[in-house]
Amino acid sequence: MSINLSENVQKVAPSMTLAISAIAKKKIADGEDVINFSVGEPDFDTPDAIKEAAIQALNSGKTKYTAVSGIVELKEAIANKYKSENKVNYSADDVIVSSGGKQAIFNALMAILNPGDKVLIPVPYWTSYPEMVTLAYGTPVLVQPSDSTIYKVSVNDLDRYYSPEVKCLIINSPSNPSGVVYESEELREIATWAVKKNVILLSDEIYEKLSYDSDFTSIASLSEEIRDQTITINGFSKTYAMTGLRLGYSISSNKQITKLINTIQSHTTSNANSITQYAGLEALSTNVDFMIDTFKRRRDLIIAEAKKIDQLKYIYPQGAFYLLIDISPYIGKFYGDSKISDSLDFAQIFLEKEKVALTPGSAFGMDSYIRISYALSDEKLVEGMQRLKNFVNAIK
């Protein structure tokens, strides 16, 4: 049978980060002593109060369709959170609740892109951005920051990649995978540039609570004009350890954008899971400081461990829970008989020989790096870094 399937979807690779994590989880389930540095989710259990809210919602029959954009109480709570914590004046009508931040981003791109529109994506990027842009019939334009020590883009970088087809710029601070956090003034320069060029800002703030060295700034808080040019994305997965519950949202003060996102969602998934929405409502008033403090401590621990490995270079993470390590000194060399030609080889040989799973930098547009997630216990972090030390020391 020969059928001409979607050429657009065939341009897109499945998520490498999910694939590697699945291999690692299978090996662990089979009893192998694998340290899983590839996971993009907190290792904490979902807080009890949030689970209890989900159980109560289920028991009280909150199992029917909700409004496409979400239950009013949750949308109001999200708008209030943005007003009080993030200093952005949003109303509940600006919020569309979706099945995870991932869906919220995809909906937003579908709502704004026409075929041929370009989206600027700073490198390194979260693995799904370019693929989602392609799925939405846009063209990803990968922006290489000229400062390769801090890996933040500047207005000069954006100017180098700008063309009149550019419709959107994605900013993800704190960043997955680099952990870099943009300062308020840096965001202001970028946002002012975007307003001047009439480029929509898509601000992925999913790691907002995990900013360890400086205060987090929402781009949309910088001025009303900037807010009106921005689609803000956030979610519950990372902050509240709710990855499997699938809850996220987009917020835009532009009524047309919100209407289009609502239309897309109404014909695809309808509403986010009703029970999860009640869990999310509880989450917004749940104190998760212990998780944030633990991640900060682990960031310090992983850096202390990285320093024990001779000449290891990395991007210093100020937020999120990832560390990007430079493996360029090992590319082209051998571990035993196995040649390391790129980051995927590094990840595969490391998993096979030392039983540590991590994500190759090629998933984020940086093939000379690997990404470690430090959302693991202290013991596992130390053991995993010891295995990394043994591995790189054996590379000749």
Least separation in angstroms between residue 325's CB and ligand PLP is 18
- Closest residue by beta carbon to ligand PLP: 100
Least separation in angstroms between residue 31's CB and ligand PLP is 27
Tell me how far apart the alpha carbons of residues 186 and 192 are, in angstroms, rounded to a whole number: 10
Least separation in angstroms between residue 287's CB and ligand PLP is 21
The nearer residue to ligand PLP, 127 or 343, going by C-beta atoms, is 127
Tell me how far apart the alpha carbons of residues 144 and 368 are, in angstroms, rounded to a whole number: 14
Tell me how far apart the alpha carbons of residues 166 and 172 are, in angstroms, rounded to a whole number: 18
Could you tell me the maximum CA-CA distance found in the chain, to the nearest angstrom?
A: 63
Least separation in angstroms between residue 125's CB and ligand PLP is 9
The nearer residue to ligand PLP, 90 or 240, going by C-beta atoms, is 240
The nearer residue to ligand PLP, 102 or 227, going by C-beta atoms, is 102
**Non-local CB neighbours of 136 within 8 Å, separated by 6+ positions:** 106, 109, 110, 113
Least separation in angstroms between residue 120's CB and ligand PLP is 16
Least separation in angstroms between residue 309's CB and ligand PLP is 26
Give yes or no for a cis peptide into 174 (omega within 30° of 0).
yes
The nearer residue to ligand PLP, 39 or 347, going by C-beta atoms, is 39
Least separation in angstroms between residue 181's CB and ligand PLP is 13
Least separation in angstroms between residue 219's CB and ligand PLP is 15
Nearest C-alpha neighbor of 157 from the set 201, 120, 204: 120
- Tell me if residue 232 falls in helix, strand or coil: strand
The nearer residue to ligand PLP, 187 or 309, going by C-beta atoms, is 187
Burial 95-126 (b: 16+ CB within 10 A, else e): bbbbbbbbbbbbbbbbbbbeeebbbbbbbbbb
CB half-sphere exposure, 390, CA atoms < 13 A: 13
DSSP 148-199: TTT----HHHHHHH--TTEEEEEEESS-TTT-----HHHHHHHHHHHHHHTP
Burial category of 365 from C-beta neighbours within 10 Å (exposed 0-12, middle 13-18, buried 19 and up): buried
The nearer residue to ligand PLP, 102 or 298, going by C-beta atoms, is 102
Least separation in angstroms between residue 171's CB and ligand PLP is 11
The nearer residue to ligand PLP, 302 or 349, going by C-beta atoms, is 302
Contacts to ligand PLP by CB under 6 A: 40, 100-102, 126, 172, 176, 204, 206, 235, 237, 243, 248
Q: Which two tokens stand for residue 132?
A: 């989602």
The nearer residue to ligand PLP, 40 or 162, going by C-beta atoms, is 40
The nearer residue to ligand PLP, 101 or 365, going by C-beta atoms, is 101
Burial 296-318 (b: 16+ CB within 10 A, else e): bebbeebeebbeebeebebbbbb
Nearest C-alpha neighbor of 73 from the set 286, 274, 266: 274
